[in-house]
Amino acid sequence: MSEIKHIIPHDYHIDKAWRSKVNNQKPVVVWLTGLSGSGKSTIANQLEVELNKRGQRTYLLDGDNVRTGLCKDLGFSDQDRKENIRRIGEVAKLMVDAGLIVISAFVSPFRADRMQVRALLEPSEFIEVFVNCPVEVCKQRDTKGLYAKAIKGEISNFTGISSPFENPENPELEVHSDREEISESVNKVLNLLLEKIKI
């Protein structure tokens, strides 16, 4: 850690403001958080489709996809979960600097970790979306069979079963995927986002 004092960041000639102008959009992170099976990835995918139909420049970061590369060395202990979100936050910050709309779909169960990501960005650049769905409904969906394994004890530290999920206290938006059609949830996020990214 003592070597950090010798690091001197380079000043770029092309900055975030310029990239934002070129992309004709304000960069932002849409951070979808919620239990496994709540519908985060489904909403995120459809949201990206809708944004691209409108000519917006985006990138989607999703939990399982990121864990096949950037975070493949991490497990699911509390500490590893924190490091997973820390890395994602740093990547999202770089993508915002590139002028992109970043859609992030992660369980991200701990409030402090989500706050840490928010703190990396300008106040207007982070939109927290709570995909609220009761754990009982997520168990019924269980599209990946993870809840069944967690209940049997085959998966440890599983959020909603053997590890807690801390609901957001003041998200910019809350959608209820147990009683809304996916299209309704997507439209709510889209409408909020389109107001935020206007230049």
User: pLDDT tens digit string along 140-170?
Assistant: 998 889 999 999 999 988 999 999 999 999 9
pLDDT at 2: 55
Domain 13-196, second-level architecture: 3-Layer(aba) Sandwich (3.40)
Q: Are 189 and 47 in contact (CB under 8 A)?
A: yes
E strand or H helix at 119, and its extent? helix 111-120
pLDDT at 37: 94
For 80-112, the three-class secondary structure string (H helix, E strand, C coil) is HHHHHHHHHHHHHHHHHHCCCEEEEECCCCCHH
| The predicted structure's pLDDT at residue 4 | 67
So what's the pLDDT on residue 60?
97
Distance, in Å, from the CA atom of 126 to the CA atom of 149, rounded to the nearest integer, reads 34
Q: Point out the residues of the chain with pLDDT beneath 70.
A: 1-4, 199
Catalytic hit among 41, 108, 163, 185: 108
Q: The whole model's pTM is what?
A: 0.92
Distance of alpha carbon 87 from the chain centroid: 12
Domain boundary assignment for the chain: 13-196
Q: How far apart are CA 181 and CA 145, in angstroms?
A: 22
Contacts of 14 (CB under 8 A, 6+ apart): none
Token digits for 101? Answer: 């709309």
Question: pLDDT value at position 163?
Answer: 92
> How many angstroms separate the Cα of 78 from the Cα of each of 56, 134, 147?
35, 22, 18
Residues 121-153 as b or e (16 or more Cβ within 10 Å = b):
beeebbbbbbbbbebebbbeebeeebbeebeee
User: For this structure, is 183 an active site residue?
Assistant: no
* Confidence (pLDDT) at 179: 95
